[in-house]
Amino acid sequence: MNKNSTLGFLLIAAILVIWGIWMSPSKEEIAKQKHTQDSLAMVQQVQDSVNKIKAAAEQKNYPQSNAGQSTNNNTAVQQKTAQPTGVFSSSATGKEQYYTLQTDLAIFKISKKGGFISSVELKKYKTWDQKPLYLFDSTTSNFGISFFSDNQLVKTSNLYFEPVLSDSSQNNFSVSGNKTLTFRMRLYARPKNERGSDPSYIEYDYTFKGDNYMLGFKINLHNMQGIIPANMNSIDLKWYADMLQEEKNVDRFSGSTVYYKYYKESVDNLNKNKDEKKEITTKLRWVSFKQRFFSSTLIADNYFNDGVLNVHKEKQDEAGMKNYLKTMSADLTLPFNVLDPKPIDLRFYFGPNKFYTLKSYGLKLERQIPIGWGFFLLAWINEYIIIPVFDWLGGFGWNYGIVILVLTVLLKLVLFPIASKTYKSSAKMRVLKPEVDAINAKYPKKEDSMKKQQAVMDLYRKAGANPASGCVPMLLQMPILFAMFEFFPSAIQLRQQPFLWAHDLSTYDSILHLPWNIPMYGDHVSLFTLLMTVSTVMYTYLNNQMMGSQTQGMPGMKTMMYIMPIMFMGIFNDYASGLSYYYFLANIITFIQMYIFQKTVNEEKLLKQIEMNKKKPKKKSAFQKRLEEAAKQSKR
């Protein structure tokens, strides 16, 4: 075996070893898991103590009626418990009103009740059925902070804010370009006639930018001494939303879930395919309600102390919405000192999951887009090769079916030398097949298998052929194939882009709807997937013909090579049609390359070259020497 063969096998072994080491948990991760478990136990103890204190406070302030008390007394107690009292009682009731703020990219509506953004409509996008695209609306979301005041829990989401306006009749605002617009909502602690010259209030300060999906958000707690206890060092923030389904189908590979970033650390996410609730006991930088192509993200300019994150799927009739997707929520704590009341600086991102748009903010928001982050090589290929080239080609205004075609041709041109080397190696093996067959006939017995192997390897060595020379080129091509598998389903550029019979390259193309659902396949027929499967089977057949003697003696492997395309047909039938189209194009271009190779590689000349190589003196490799030594030992 020559140096190229040894290199090929060493690369395979190295990949397997590195994969095993990479997948095993590090000492730091094991220690972190143990620390998390210990912290959760401590938090539970503290929470139990807090619950006891709250129960005692409620018992003190809202005594339960005895059995002998009148019905009127019972009603009075219920009213006192249901409605907030104290300094915020004047804000417990009010008239619902919405204020519309429009930028170049989105339309926001802010509600007086809760003072928060009740709906977000993205202007440049539509749902799969061409309706206005709302990330969430007033019936599906809730946001607010909470704290204890006079032993009573105050929730701002249930109270009515007042806008800070010069014209009280105005309720529509707009901003464009690089300009900014500030909009404030205040929750006053006392009625208007009791506020005085320096009122106490909670203020939500919004800063909208005309050409940016990111908006500023500050929470100001002004003059709250005596209302918020001095010993409180944090306030609670709860954000809840029923996410709406914007796409035709729910992609099972790039599903929606809650993403979050640890403070100065990595990005993680909850389970994409099932319900999960997770308690985070360390600092967080941001939390995001991520859908396939869009996300709603809350960012702390400083940090969140900790939080409880949750994603779950309600029943359809409970949600009451036909386009309901998932429910996501985040219970977070914000550091705050009432004696030193600095503004709590936050930001929101409501927009598309475009890779370079998210990356431009420098917060690792782009890590929400699945491009192969689990394996660095896939992520590098996508980030530094595929995405830049894809965006560059898309900038010409071509149909994205043409963009995928050009991208495939460019990739095949780059890989052409590797493909050429693989074909020439296969051609050598075909030319040598008669001689290999003769060696097999010479050593038919099993006990002569070592002699047969030694004779075959000696033939390859003299002929200058390498049976493993196709291994390294294939290893070099595999990362690109896997990178494409990650990229296409998450590429928002393909969203609602038609091509030929496909109405949307980001979802499946259906040419026939079936009257029943076939397990592992679906209830429709994707033509691009069928074309991909047929072309893959054809390529497998031609490749087996090319490999010649290399596939002899491996009937199980040959059968598996035909079964795999059929298995993938079931997976890809419900997948992004753009990916099936890409693999189909890759197979077609491969057929063209094979035709070119057949016309340019003269096997008669190749045989003459091999005969000349046999006459040249060959230096035995270390592996060949060990193989011969093993053969000698077996004779003793």
How far apart, in whole angstroms, are the C-alpha atoms of residue 575 and residue 302?
Answer: 40
The pLDDT confidence band at residue 279, using thresholds 50, 70 and 90, is very high
The pLDDT confidence band at residue 617, using thresholds 50, 70 and 90, is low
Contact 280, 309 (CB under 8 A): yes
pLDDT at 307: 94
Show the tokens assigned to 396. Answer: 């010409």
pLDDT at 611: 66
How far apart, in whole angstroms, are the C-alpha atoms of residue 246 and residue 492?
Answer: 12
Q: Are residues 96 and 160 in the same domain?
A: yes
Of the listed ranges 20-24, 60-64, 355-359, 543-547, the least confidently predicted one is: 60-64
Q: Are residues 300 and 440 in the same domain?
A: no
603 against 216, higher pLDDT? 216
483 burial class (0-12, 13-18, 19+ CB within 10 angstroms)? Answer: buried
Of the listed ranges 173-187, 233-247, 543-557, the least confidently predicted one is: 543-557
Contact 88, 191 (CB under 8 A): no
571 against 308, higher pLDDT? 308
3-state secondary structure labels for all residues of 361-430: CCCCHHHHCCCCCCCHHHHHHHHHHHHHHHHHHHCCCCCHHHHHHHHHHHHHHHCHHHHHHHHHHHHHHH
User: Does the pLDDT of residue 309 top 80, yes or no?
Assistant: yes
Q: Are residues 238 and 353 in the same domain?
A: yes
Q: What pTM did the predictor assign?
A: 0.76
Last residue of a domain, one of 369, 403, 421: 369
Q: Kindly state the average pLDDT of the residues 601-612.
A: 67
Q: Kindly state the average pLDDT of the residues 154-180.
A: 90
Looking at residue 551, the DSSP 8-state letter turns out to be: G
pLDDT at 622: 60
Contact 348, 214 (CB under 8 A): yes
pLDDT at 627: 58
pLDDT digits (tens, 9 = 90+) for 241-253: 998 888 887 656 5
Tally DSSP H helices, then E strands, for the chain. Answer: 17, 22
Of the listed ranges 79-93, 302-316, 350-364, the least confidently predicted one is: 79-93
Domain CATH code at residue 261: 2.70.98.90
11 against 137, higher pLDDT? 137
User: Does the pLDDT of residue 65 top 60, yes or no?
Assistant: no
**Nearest alpha-carbon partner for 219 in 121, 311, 346:** 346
pLDDT at 79: 37
Q: Kindly state the average pLDDT of the residues 402-419.
A: 89
Q: Kindly state the average pLDDT of the residues 280-285.
A: 95
pLDDT digits (tens, 9 = 90+) for 477-490: 778 888 888 888 88
pLDDT at 472: 58
Residue 576 lies in a domain: no
pLDDT at 197: 81
Residue 601 lies in a domain: yes
- The sheet with strand 141-149 has its strands ordered as 152-155, 141-149, 234-244, 324-335, 306-312, 276-280
Q: Are residues 337 and 425 in the same domain?
A: no
Residue 60 lies in a domain: no
User: Does the pLDDT of residue 341 top 90, yes or no?
Assistant: no
Coil vs helix vs strand at 488: helix
Q: Which of 85-89, 332-336, 549-553, 624-628 has the highest mean pLDDT?
A: 332-336
Of the listed ranges 80-89, 348-357, 425-434, the least confidently predicted one is: 80-89
Q: Are residues 221 and 254 in the same domain?
A: yes
Q: Are residues 360 and 401 in the same domain?
A: no
Q: How many CB atoms lie within 10 A of CB 224?
A: 18
Q: Are residues 129 and 256 in the same domain?
A: yes
Average pLDDT score over the chain: 79
Residue 37 lies in a domain: no
How far apart, in whole angstroms, are the C-alpha atoms of residue 571 and residue 115?
Answer: 46
Structural domain tally of the chain?
Answer: 2
Q: Are residues 333 and 303 in the same domain?
A: yes
User: Does the pLDDT of residue 56 top 60, yes or no?
Assistant: no
DSSP sequence for 92-125: SS----EEEEE-SSEEEEEETBTSSEEEEEEEEE
Residue 564 lies in a domain: no
pLDDT at 64: 34
Q: How many CB atoms lie within 10 A of CB 94?
A: 13
pLDDT at 548: 52
97 against 446, higher pLDDT? 97
Q: Are residues 449 and 326 in the same domain?
A: no
Share of the chain above pLDDT 70, in %: 73
Residue 499 lies in a domain: yes
Residue 299 lies in a domain: yes
Domain that holds residue 428: 384-504+581-615
The pLDDT confidence band at residue 330, using thresholds 50, 70 and 90, is very high
Q: Kindly state the average pLDDT of the residues 120-145.
A: 91
User: Does the pLDDT of residue 524 top 90, yes or no?
Assistant: no
User: Does the pLDDT of residue 169 top 50, yes or no?
Assistant: yes
Q: Are residues 364 and 389 in the same domain?
A: no
Last residue of a domain, one of 334, 369, 404: 369
- List, as own/partner pairs, every contact residues 88-97 make where C-beta atoms lie below 8 angstroms and the sequence separation is at least 24, other chains included: 88/149, 88/154, 88/159, 88/187, 88/189, 90/188, 90/190, 90/191, 90/192, 91/159, 91/160, 91/161, 91/187, 91/188, 92/158, 92/159, 92/160, 93/160, 94/160, 95/160, 97/171
- The β-bridge partners of 524 are 513
Q: Kindly state the average pLDDT of the residues 33-56.
A: 46
Q: Are residues 323 and 221 in the same domain?
A: yes
Q: Are residues 345 and 418 in the same domain?
A: no
φ/ψ of 146, rounded to 5, equals: -145, 150
The pLDDT confidence band at residue 556, using thresholds 50, 70 and 90, is low
Residue 627 lies in a domain: no
Last residue of a domain, one of 369, 399, 425: 369
404 against 430, higher pLDDT? 404
522 against 176, higher pLDDT? 176
